[in-house]
Chain A
Amino acid sequence: GESVGLHLPTLSVQEGDNSIINCAYSNSASDYFIWYKQESGKGPQFIIDIRSNMDKRQGQRVTVLLNKTVKHLSLQIAATQPGDSAVYFCAEEEAAGNKLTFGGGTRVLVKP
């Protein structure tokens, strides 16, 4: 079936550097994408979302890029901080769909 996947299961980054987390999706009918952050023992927290009519969206220290041609999604975190250490999930939803499909997750470890 359709799926969302991630290229890197673990990303180690130096504090203050920028982080880039990548995600590939295969469902061309998906039109809504979300990045979530999950800290240990907690539920996922919304970070940023993007719809398929956009290719870039910026938040506070985070940017999501969407390349529909190659079905690729990325999350950029500027000036990574220790509090950014967590597992990050991308998720997709089909147009007129009612359910979110998650990728496998990338663990980000911030080194002091």
Chain B
Amino acid sequence: SQTIHQWPATLVQPVGSPLSLECTVEGTSNPNLYWYRQAAGRGLQLLFYSVGIGQISSEVPQNLSASRPQDRQFILSSKKLLLSDSGFYLCAWELGAGYTFGSGTRLTVV
């Protein structure tokens, strides 16, 4: 069966520090992969999506970047975090029949 893993579950980082959040998928090949961010009490905003290795589409201008070095690995990064980068980050995968989300990473930038 397909599973999706996100880590860490929570993260507290100082302003200006780098960020790397990892998402991996098991049990499927060549899925579409997504990074969403959710501010407290709000809906989900699509940040990046990828339809294949090395293919990244950015939805909104921001302080973050994404990479897909392997078929089932999706990484969200930042060189210097801002306070406004705080939020709940969710990875998801899709392969023609609905989206499956990971358990999320709660990032607090202090």
Contacts and interface: CB of A to CB of B under 8 A. Distances in A.
B90 interface: yes
Interface residues of B, number: 24
Interface residues of A, number: 19
A46 B99 contact: yes
Nearest to A105: B43
B interface: dominant SS: strand
Given A44-B90, A46-B98, A98-B49, A89 B103 contact: no
A61 interface: no
- Interface centre among B36, B44, B98, by most chain A C-beta atoms within 10 angstroms, is B44
A44 B42 contact: no
Interface string B15-52: 00000000000000000101010000011111001010
A89 B49 contact: no
Interface of A: 34, 36, 41-46, 49, 89, 91, 98-105
21 contacts: A42-B103, A42-B104, A43-B102, A43-B103, A44-B101, A45-B101, A46-B98, A46-B99, A89-B43, A89-B44, A91-B99, A98-B32, A98-B49, A99-B49, A100-B34, A100-B99, A102-B36, A102-B43, A102-B45, A104-B42, A105-B42
Query: 10 tightest CB-CB pairs across the interface, nearest first?
Result: A43-B101, A102-B44, A104-B43, A102-B43, A43-B104, A44-B101, A105-B43, A43-B103, A43-B90, A99-B49
